[in-house]
Amino acid sequence: MKDNVDSYVTKDGRTIGPVVMEMKNITLRFGGVEAIKDISFDIREGEIRAIIGPNGAGKSSMLNVISGFYVPQDGEVWYRGAPRPAMKPFQVAQQGIARTFQNIALFEGMSVLDNVMTGRLTHMKSGLMSQMLWRGAAEKEEIENREVAERIIDFLEIQAIRKTPVSRLSYGLKKRVELARALAAEPSLLLLDEPMAGMNVEEKEDMSRFILDVNDEFGTTIALIEHDMGVVMDLSDRVVVMDYGKKIGDGTPHEVRNNQEVIDAYLGVAHD
Amino acid sequence: MNEQLAFTIEVFANGLMAGVLYALVALGFVLIYKASGIFNYAQGVMALFAAMTLVGIQNGQVPFVHLINAIFGTEIHGFGWTVPSFVAIILTVFVMIGLAWAVQRFVFRHLVGQEPIILFMATIGLAYFLEGVADLMWGSELKTLTVCATESVCLPQGMNMWLETTTYEAMGYGFFIDNLDIVASIIAALLVAGLVMFAQYTKQGRAMRAVADDHQAALSVGVSLNFIWILVWSLAGFVALVAGIMWGAKSGVQFSLSLIALKALPVLMLGGFTSIPGAIVGGLIIGVGEKMFEFLIGAPFLGGATENWFAYMLALVFLVFRPQGLFGEKIIERV
């Protein structure tokens, strides 16, 4: 690993920036169960970082630590070169870290457009009174936010359903709307919890394309959890492999694929 | 013109006015239920508390005066001043915001993620606690609430007299509508318009709708649940204050005021627990329905006093045929 180099260029010619987020010796316990055991890794600017591992490895817990839904018992989360104090999830979101959920958390009662607009909440600043009276700055701000939302809706090719209530959409489309809402926040770090779980081949291909395009077009740093090894190998710049709450591998897809411990974990060698 | 018909119209109008008050109370329920899933049994007591605080501040009463006198052996009776209605209302709004904060900080923050029935029980506890505090703070005697010290401040008295005389000249029957009812309707309409605008067009309103829909998702887009809950309890407190003023001005500020919460229940079943327009329409239907039923059927054929049970019977019919209410969200579970 090129640890202290600020940025470097990969073999495919992709430029990877400096470290934006660093997990230092994170340990997370639920009662007596250790979900995450002393894990350290970093996320660099502009990269697609995958976290993989078998079921129950602690991947989602790790994502929840990053997004503030879980507070680790030990270890520090460093963000932009400084240790992050214990934060509520909404504060993490306000810092520019957006996320999606494994089992989809959308506002079911709202339309697609309204859902995407909620992603703009952290960017809305004008005062209550001017907003209610719909004047000046507030109106301008609303229009700007609306433009961002519409651009993302176009980008993810969901124009046709923009006024549809989310509860009527198929699973695959809901996943896409959730991605749109996260993107609307214009995050500096985007966390995706199994963005392709439960999708058919065609939907998976679409989603992979969108993730690559987002990274390409907006330069968004992405950390994602995925089961499908093939997808992970194609998408990501670097991979963290977890098993039973421990980190068993970290590196480029190629390095990870040839790591004996990783092979064992995936092929199911008996643990001692 | 047929006098019977004219009288019917007047009953109808009075029903609408009563409905406005039911709607106001129901509105407070809907706000909290939508945003936090809590059925706030204390809404009626909040109206009482707000009205008592308003009267207390207006009359320059010292809060907890009996308690202070008992402990320190003093003989305080009051500050000896009176506060103008406008200032007193603003001060009461601040008290209600403080109450919202305290309720969130000391009760519901510790109950996040609990079963709805536990949250409901907590509001029952809150209702009795608040009733006790109101008693201790301002005393339990009946108080009269006059928001308009001089008539010209609110609505000129001439208006309903004008209505009565012109309708008398035109139709041979003079309509009488209480001034207070007109003020109540106008304020209620403004309040609803304000709330709808707030929910639709402001950042906080959008955040409120987000929290009402999905807590986890709301957190992930940067909304503080705690802030939104304080906000909705404050709004509910404000609505309670308006309702308290209206009822208090009509029939005096007394402890039976807290029972208007029970009248809001059928309104909610009619309108749906999650709909702001539903609370308004439901309130009006119940108000008009019970007055008209009493006038047309109850008094002539059933021996009267149907107003006591009509609303509940109507709610029961709705529960059987349309359990989500007129405007409520129909719950469809995908299998």
Neighbours of A31 (CB within 10 A): 5
Q: Say whether both A3 and A92 belong to one domain.
A: yes
Q: What is the dihedral of CA B207, B210, B214, B220, to 10 degrees?
A: -50
pLDDT tens readout for residues A115-160: 999 999 988 876 666 666 666 677 788 888 999 999 999 999 999 9
Domain boundary (A182, A200, A233) is at: A182
| Residue B330 is assigned to a structural domain of this protein | no
For the cut 90, the answer to whether the pLDDT of residue A72 exceeds it is: yes
Can you give the residue range of the structural domain that contains A231? Answer: 1-96+187-272
Q: Does some domain include residue B50?
A: yes
Within a domain: B37: yes
pLDDT at residue B311 above 70?
yes
- The pLDDT assigned to B335 comes to 54
Considering chain B, what percentage of its residues have pLDDT values greater than 70? 92
Residue A108 has its nearest CB partner, among B198, B204, B213, at: B213
Residue scoring higher pLDDT (A144 or B323): A144
- Is the pLDDT confidence value at A240 over 90? yes
The overall average pLDDT reported for chain B is: 84
Asked if the structure places residue A46 within a domain, the reply is yes
**Residues paired with residue B253 on neighbouring β-strands, in sequence order:** B143
Contact state of B201 with A131 under an 8 Å Cβ cutoff? yes
Contacts of A121 in chain B (CB under 8 A): 203, 206-207, 210, 221-223
- What's chain A's average pLDDT? 87
| Per-residue model confidence as pLDDT tens digits over B177-223 | 777 777 778 888 888 888 888 887 788 888 988 988 888 899 999 99
> Structural domain tally of chain B?
1
Would you say residue A101 lies in a domain?
no
In a domain, B202, yes or no: yes
Together in a domain, A121 and A86? no
| Residue A272, pLDDT above cutoff 80 | no
B209 contacts on A by Cβ (under 8 Å): 107, 109-110
A105, pLDDT greater than 60: yes
B17, B181 contact by CB (below 8 A): yes
Q: A172 and A193 share a domain?
A: no
Q: Residue A137 half-sphere exposure, CB side, CA atoms within 13 Å?
A: 7
Is the residue at A28 inside a domain?
Answer: yes
User: Among A161, A182, A203, where does a domain finish?
Assistant: A182
Taking the CA of residue A131 and the nearest CA in chain B, the distance in Å comes to 5
- Please check the confidence at residue A239 and state whether its pLDDT lies above 70: yes
Can you give the pLDDT at residue B322?
A: 84
A102 within some domain: no
- Find the mean pLDDT for residues A172-185: 94
* pLDDT over 70 at B53, yes or no: yes
Taking CA–CA distances from A142, the nearest residue in chain B reads B201
User: Does residue B264 have a pLDDT over 90?
Assistant: no
Residue B169 counted as domain residue: yes
* A227 and A194, same domain (yes or no): yes
pLDDT at A2: 46
Q: Do A223 and A165 have their domain in common? A: no
Q: How far apart are CA B206 and CA B223, in angstroms?
A: 10
| DSSP string of A178-207, one letter each residue | HHHHHHHT--SEEEEESTTTT--HHHHHHH
DSSP E strands: which ranges in B286-327? none
CA–CA separation, A7 and B171 (whole Å): 89
Overall domain count for chain A: 2
Residue B327 domain-assigned (yes or no): no
Could you tell me the pLDDT band of residue A1, with boundaries at 50, 70 and 90? very low
Taking CB atoms and an 8 Å limit, are A88 and B224 in contact across chains? yes
CATH of the domain at A33: 3.40.50.300
Q: Are residues A119 and A154 in the same domain?
A: yes
For residue A210, pLDDT beyond 50: yes
A131 and A11, same structural domain?
no
Asked if residue B177 belongs to a domain, the reply is yes
- A140 shares a domain with A21: no
The rounded radius of gyration (Å) of the Cα atoms in chain B is: 21
> Taking the model in full, what pTM does it have?
0.83
Cβ neighbours for B277, distance < 8 A, ≥ 6 positions apart: B192, B271, B327
Please indicate, yes or no, whether residues A151 and A237 belong to a single structural domain of this protein: no
If you compute the radius of gyration of chain A from its CA atoms, what whole number of angstroms results? Answer: 19
Are residues A88 and A169 located together in one domain of the fold?
Answer: no
- Do residues A206 and A258 both lie within one domain? yes
Q: For residue B230, which residues of chain A lie inside 8 Å, CB to CB?
A: none
Count of CB pairs separated by less than 8 Å, A with B: 85
Q: Which of A25, A261, A17, A68 is nearest to A250 (CA)?
A: A261
Residue A264 burial by Cβ neighbours in a 10 Å radius (0-12, 13-18, 19+):
middle
Residue with tokens 């989602």: A60
Select the highest-mean-pLDDT range: B75-84, B159-168, B263-272. B263-272
Instruction: Mutate one of A66, A67, A107 to test the B interface: name it (highest B CB count within 10 A).
Output: A107
* A156 domain residue, yes or no: yes
Averaged pLDDT for residues A218-234? 87
Domain containing B168 equals 3-321
Q: What percent of chain A has pLDDT over 70?
A: 92
Is residue A144 situated within a structural domain?
A: yes
With an 8 Å Cβ cutoff, the interface of chain A facing chain B consists of 67, 69, 88-91, 93-94, 98-101, 105-110, 114, 117-119, 121-122, 124, 126, 128, 131-132, 134, 142, 167, 181-182, 185
Whether A104 maps to a domain, the answer reads no
Edge-to-edge strand list for the sheet holding A97-99:
A97-99, A189-193, A221-225, A48-52, A238-243, A246-251
What is the pLDDT, as a whole number, of residue A35? 92
Per-residue pLDDT for B151 more than 60? Answer: no
- The residue from A130, A160, A182 where one domain ends is A182
The answer on A13 and A26 residing in a single domain is: yes
pLDDT of residue A237: 92
Confidence of residue A114 (pLDDT cuts 50, 70, 90): very high
